[in-house]
Amino acid sequence: MNDHGAATQGMVPVSQVGYDSRMDRQWVVDLVERLPQGVLSRGWGWIARRRHPRLGVEILKRVFVKAAGIDMTEAEQGTRDYSSLEELFLRRLRPGARRIDPDPTAFVCPVDGRVGQSGRVTNGTLLQVKGRSYELSALLGDAKAAARFEGGTYVTLYLSPRDYHRVHSPVSGQVAEAVVIPGALMPVFGEAVSTVDELFARNERLITYVDSPDAGRVAMVKVGAMMVGKITLAFDPTIHTNRAGQGKRQVRYDPPRMVQKGAELGAFEMGSTVVAVTEPGCVDLVKMETGTAVRMGQRLGVVVGRKRKRRPTSKKKSGPATTSKR
């Protein structure tokens, strides 16, 4: 088996796990473009946080679980134990539900979801969908920051409403910087990605940069969407998206926040998209087909620097023993 063979285990084509939807939702995209997206998303967040009336909340939770097809056997608690729909969205997994690949060379999947696109940053652009690309500088909101990733790899991961909603670090390192970039809140399902130019660079984003000794800098771009009440950071409750009147906000942490591979970085109130971008020569991604289902903690790539360190060094052959004459 080659270096990447084991990494593809556990990846299942989307059609085999119930993600494949044949319903034409283009009308939703057209409608949302005409609506006050921020107001509606904040309104949905308000509804999701309601704890009363209890009977209404219980019915809402159960309807959502059934409609979305959520596997509650993986959750830390049962449906009734969550006091609001928001708590259900942000549910933690029971111990052992996910395995973080222990191999030091592993660049692991930060979320449960499915692969949108993956590849290499070329001429400052990333592929959104076949025939549509967008500028990394627009996604990061900073041309200088984007230049650092030219020639590096990227992977786009889509989370549906049924998925586990927390985002984790693909490598061990430290976070010295987080950036909130306000924007639109267009839906990010297939029809929208296929028809809306530069969708991920238009929508609201929360970016954390993870700096790793072996994997270099990794840009973790969490992209907002319609009905995502907000995106939050696990280590800084003062930072979140979808705040009325909020402009671009850049926060630096001194000292930086240390994170281990698989540690939580943040969360979505509903499903959306994560774009992970790495520096050139740092991470080699495994081959992944669009629509492949992935789970948090499984290997998505190989940390090149760490792999080099693990290569056995050839032992130098010693010559025949000699004795010195006095």
Burial zone of 54 (CB within 10 Å; 0-12 exposed, 13-18 middle, 19+ buried): exposed
Residue of 22, 11, 38, 26 whose CA lies nearest to 195? 26
Is 168 designated active site? yes
Dihedral of CA atoms 268, 251, 176, 121 in degrees, nearest 10, equals: 70
**The one catalytic residue among 41, 118, 212, 272:** 272
Is 3 designated active site? no
**The one catalytic residue among 101, 168, 172, 212:** 168
DSSP secondary structure of 114-167: EEEEEEE-BTTEEEEETTEEEEHHHHHT-HHHHHTTTT-EEEEEE--TTS--EE
Whole-angstrom Cα distance, residue 216 to residue 230? 28
Is 112 designated active site? yes
Distance of CA 209 to the CA centre of its chain: 12
For residues 214 and 253, the answer to whether their CB atoms sit within 8 Å is no
Q: Strands 273-278, 153-158: parallel, antiparallel or unpaired by DSSP?
A: antiparallel
**The one catalytic residue among 112, 118, 214, 240:** 112
Whole-angstrom Cα distance, residue 67 to residue 82? 17
- As annotated, the active-site residues are 112, 168, 272
